[in-house]
Chains A and B, each alone.
Chain A
């Protein structure tokens, strides 16, 4: 079954109640992300990017509105089904890499496959291939502390792809990397997006992301300010 939209949000809102104050981290967000798209979410600090990712990624419940992943309304899922969604449908990449520190690169990539019940032989084979694909074929048995930031992020990307997800959510994946390494990571994600057809959504304040994105969603104070396609952005640059 192929779905036209990997992600759809409908009047999505998340409010945090802090005593008498209400923080409207998201306030009526409507976006649709097509299968295979590479979308960047841009916005200043506090604009709601991480909150949006938490809602799309099934990590937190919205105050109002709906999220559809592959046309399924995820508010209808119970705890078990949500775990399954996170395991099979979504891959996560974080600013701080978040590898499991006691496990090797290979074991980190295999972990989602363990939860998915993939047999050991196949786990090793697939995880090795993924690590080779991201350029770490010679670092399989290294622990996270024995890897550079850029290498750790490559492991995280391989891990995000472990169960062939519909979508990879990357929250400021280059935030802790230097310019050059950040560019490498961005290009790697773009290549994998093209190669595997996996939908990628990244949050960023990084202007380097613009070049590789199909569309850019500008977020401000929890609302979508505007959405631009790459053609439009390039045109702006030429002016």
Chain B
């Protein structure tokens, strides 16, 4: 590619560098990341506890009751609320970094690099939130099951296969489901903020005084 006398070379952002900068961002802006994570934790913990509790009930009573329609509805609403929380938190994160985004563009960043930074950040936060949400939800379900039924029923439920259609013990299938869903949810909820950040005009972004 050449324009006039210039040979237009490539503009790059290697994955490893983007990842490193993103980790620094999360570390340095821990409070903001923690708020976003909390949103995910709540949604995922709720999901895990509902699924697990019905599983415990099943193994204790032997009655295959499944999950009731209203529970699915609650689940859907809780994930939606969680998603809106993430979007909100990421929009604030973008506003806090207007000047930084403008500076990055001055240094050569392409729109898609800005997009990468924000989506990478939300995937990492999503993964962490998913794991924490899983742990909290599972503990809640175990306490509930042990008090309502017995530790034995809980143990059976944890190892029972077939939950969510996976042919693996529920403890593991729930973990996988939590992490994957949390990452997807976090990415989807961050698409708009990340896109907005990527499309910022550098002159406007630099003008912005916090």
Contact = CB atoms under 8 A, between A and B. Distances in A.
Given A101-B28, A114-B14, A57 B4 contact: no
B104 interface: yes
B24 A103 contact: yes
Most buried by B among A59, A92, A96: A59
Shortest 8 CB-CB contacts between residues of A and residues of B: A87-B108, A115-B108, A60-B203, A72-B4, A102-B24, A54-B203, A102-B28, A59-B203
Given A60-B203, A101-B100, A102-B25, A92 B106 contact: yes
Contacts of A112: 107-108
Interface string B143-168: 00000000000000000000000000
B172 interface: no
Interface residues of A, number: 37
A98 interface: yes
Interface in B1-26: 1, 3-6, 8-14, 17, 21, 24-25
A12 to B, nearest CB: 14
A183 B208 CA distance: 27
A1 B5 contact: yes
Given A72-B4, A98-B99, A100-B103, A83 B109 contact: yes
Interface in B86-142: 99-100, 102-111, 113
10 contacts: A59-B102, A59-B201, A70-B5, A80-B110, A81-B3, A87-B107, A96-B99, A100-B21, A102-B21, A115-B12
B30 to A, nearest CB: 11
B75 interface: no
A60 B110 CA distance: 15
A94 interface: yes
A84 B21 contact: no
Nearest to B29: A102
Given A59-B202, A80-B110, A84-B108, A114 B17 contact: yes
